[in-house]
Amino acid sequence: GNSVTQMEGPVTLSEEAFLTINCTYTATGYPSLFWYVQYPGEGLQLLLKATKADDKGSNKGFEATYRKETTSFHLEKGSVQVSDSAVYFCALSVRETSGSRLTFGEGTQLTVNP
């Protein structure tokens, strides 16, 4: 089946620190990969995506590269801000006969202190 594993949290950083959140996956087909972000009190929103091997998704200073050989999609940001404090979810989607569904990781809580 399909599954996503994220690094355990919570993660606490100081402002301007470098961020890495690890994500690995298993999939029965060729997945598309996503990072979703959940800000406090809100629903999830798409942060970035990659649909094929070696693609790099990027948005708001965050990046993640689709690594098929290591089945990974690690999220990185060079300099985090207090406003980046949120829960981050790695997810995958595989096209099925009747459509596609998302499989989510456990989520990683990030807190950035001033």
Residue 52 C-beta: closest distance to another protein, Å: 11
Nearest alpha-carbon partner for 35 in 110, 109, 105? 105
98 contributes a contact to another protein by CB under 8 A: yes
Among 19, 21, 23, 44, binds another protein (CB under 8 A): 44
Q: Considering Cα of 22, then 104, then 11, then 113, what sign does the dihedral take?
A: positive
DSSP-derived letter for residue 72 is: B
- The count of chain residues that interact with another protein, using the rule CB under 8 A, is 25
Name the phi and psi angles at 82, rounded to 5.
-55, -35
Q: Does 40 bind another protein (CB under 8 A)?
A: no
Query: How many angstroms separate the CA atoms of 88 and 82, rounded?
Result: 14
Does residue 53 bind another protein (CB under 8 A)? no
Query: What is the smallest separation between the CB atom of 81 and another protein, expressed in angstroms?
Result: 23
Cβ atoms of 15 and 112 closer than 8 Å: yes
Question: With CB under 8 A as the contact rule, which of the stretches 14-22, 57-65, 67-75, 92-100 interacts with another protein?
Answer: 92-100
* Residue number, 9 or 17, with CB nearest to another protein: 9
Which residue matches tokens 């099925």? 96
Binding footprint of another protein on the chain (CB under 8 A)? 4, 32, 34, 41-46, 49, 51, 89, 91-93, 95, 98-102, 104-107
